[in-house]
């Protein structure tokens, strides 16, 4: 009799829906699930020598479960449990108390944006509400640049105040949290936050231990190949360290940031502005497949959700501002305290402006979701059920989605084959040109359709 395979492998990993969060590892009572790197630079769930008993616990905490059972809670169901006190709700952004734009006086300089996450952690430490912070910092292993680390005093906060566009996992961390004395705060992108909430919903120890979640508004999880490509474009050898994805230019605008790393053989810092690299987000290059089937644009299940305030006038300041969604009463209280003591430079942001700040993501992840689902199913792929799928789109928008999906897949396969920036750019040139032309055509068609509606 052949060994049973964990459901998270047969239903999620084999459908290229695994994001590497690792919640399944701690949820499996038979310890039959691990995580490891795949051939495309992502961390994914894998099996080990332990016998799987097919109890299904692993898939019940998976944020991309393609065939959820009747007891499975989606983002709306989880929000009703964990954010029940939030007085406001919007279908695109979930439950919340208030929306702001601003920055922390103390942590802004060392952060990717406004430094609000570090400010929140410090306040939680000071109030005695947490004893530890679980967030992404430098890795102690040779196969990864970053990992989730546990810090236990606020003096360490300055060392972890940056966004890392690099795969990480909570696989071993969630179990460690259960053994810690005291309570923790955790940061993560939307799918990781959802996995944590699913785990909390199943495990009373995690529900008690995890006191606060900081959600990082995300444009897509990137492969490790993304880091390798940027380092090569910056002029570093393959032997590099300390990649920094958000090097601010205080003389320029907030969007004009750079990537840097240390080239180890020469012990020199290499830097390249991201505008020289090109559009790495709208094209979908190096992005996980699962991200195309995520409709949580604004980390709906966190206590506070943070993103870049790339809106006029905030984006004109190279120091960085954050958009801030206070979702829990605790988050709202901490932010108001920071405003009262002048620790935060912050103002209320109208809902319409916040929605505008995320319009690109709403266009892709909400309006075009149904198109991607239909295209995936046409090729026999299994996809998770979604809350928001948009209306049927015209042909020109369906072509954009197909071109993005093809570009995403080709970028991963090309880097896996060559791992050379010059060759990669050469091999990707035709696909990127095609995507650019189709995208420009879609913009023209949208403008024409808008004019027709205004002048029937």
Residues in the chain: 456
The mean of the pLDDT values for the chain is 95
Please give the C-alpha separations between residue 350 and each of 199, 307, 353, 355, 356, in angstroms, as whole numbers. 33, 15, 5, 9, 10
pLDDT of 80 above 60: yes
What 3-state class would DSSP assign to 304? strand
Strands (E), 118-198: 132-138, 146-151, 184-189
Q: CA 44, CA 54: separation in Å to the nearest integer?
A: 19
| pLDDT score of 161 more than 80 | no
Question: Is the four-CA dihedral 22, 24, 28, 31 of positive or negative sign?
Answer: negative
Residues 65 and 202: beta-carbon distance below 8 Å? no
Q: How many CA atoms lie within 13 A of 141 on its CB side?
A: 9
Residue whose tokens read 């949820």:
27
Q: Helix, strand or coil for residue 326?
A: strand
Q: Which residues pair with 36 in a beta bridge?
A: 44
Concatenate the DSSP letters of all residues of 205-245 into one string: HHHHHEEEEEEE--S-PBPHHHHHHHHHHHT--SSEEEEEE
- pLDDT exceeds 50 at position 1: no
For the stretch 328-358, pLDDT in tens is 999 999 999 999 999 999 999 999 999 999 9
Q: What is the pLDDT of residue 3?
A: 61
Q: What is the pLDDT of residue 4?
A: 75
385 vs 396: CA distance, rounded Å: 25
């Amino acid at each position: 009799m052949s060994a049973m395979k964990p459901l998270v492998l047969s239903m999620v990993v084999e459908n290229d829906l695994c994001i590497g969060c690792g919640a399944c590892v701690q949820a499996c009572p038979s310890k039959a699930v691990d995580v490891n790197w795949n051939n495309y630079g992502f961390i994914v769930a894998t099996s080990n020598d332990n016998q799987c008993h097919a109890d299904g616990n692993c898939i019940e905490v998976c944020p991309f479960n393609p065939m959820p059972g009747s007891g499975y809670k989606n983002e709306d169901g989880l929000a009703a449990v964990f954010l029940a006190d939030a007085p406001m709700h919007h279908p695109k952004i979930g439950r919340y108390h208030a929306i702001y734009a601003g920055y922390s006086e103390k942590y802004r300089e060392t952060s990717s944006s406004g430094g609000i996450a570090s400010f929140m952690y410090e306040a939680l430490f000071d109030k005695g509400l947490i004893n530890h912070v679980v967030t992404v910092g430098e890795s102690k292993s040779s196969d990864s640049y970053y990992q989730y680390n546990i810090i236990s005093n606020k003096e360490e906060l300055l060392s972890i105040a940056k966004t890392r566009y690099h795969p990480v996992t909570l696989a071993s961390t969630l179990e460690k949290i259960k053994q810690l004395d005291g309570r923790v705060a955790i940061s993560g992108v939307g799918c990781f936050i959802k996995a944590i909430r699913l785990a909390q919903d199943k495990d009373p120890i995690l529900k008690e231990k995890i006191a606060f979640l900081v959600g990082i508004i995300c444009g897509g999880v990137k492969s490790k190949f993304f880091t390798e490509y940027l380092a090569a474009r910056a002029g570093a050898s393959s032997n590099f360290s300390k990649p920094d994805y958000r090097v601010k230019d205080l003389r320029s605008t907030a969007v004009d940031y750079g990537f840097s790393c240390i080239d180890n053989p020469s012990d020199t810092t290499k830097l390249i502005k991201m505008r020289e690299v090109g559009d790495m987000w709208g094209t979908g290059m190096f992005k996980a497949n699962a991200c195309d089937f995520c409709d949580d644009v604004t980390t709906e299940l966190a206590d506070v959700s943070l993103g870049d305030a790339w809106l006029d006038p905030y984006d004109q300041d190279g120091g960085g501002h954050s958009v801030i969604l206070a979702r829990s009463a605790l988050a709202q209280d901490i932010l108001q305290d920071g405003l009262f003591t002048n620790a935060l430079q912050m103002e209320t942001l109208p809902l319409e402006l916040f929605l505008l700040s995320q319009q690109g993501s709403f266009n892709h992840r909400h309006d075009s979701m149904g198109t991607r689902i239909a295209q995936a199913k046409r090729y026999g792929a299994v996809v998770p059920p979604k809350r928001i799928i948009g209306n049927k789109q015209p042909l020109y928008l369906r072509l954009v989605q197909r071109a993005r999906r093809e570009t995403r897949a080709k970028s991963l396969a090309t880097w896996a084959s060559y791992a050379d920036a010059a060759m990669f750019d050469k091999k990707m040139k035709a696909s990127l040109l095609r995507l650019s032309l189709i995208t420009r055509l879609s913009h023209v068609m949208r403008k024409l359709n808008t004019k027709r509606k205004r002048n029937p």
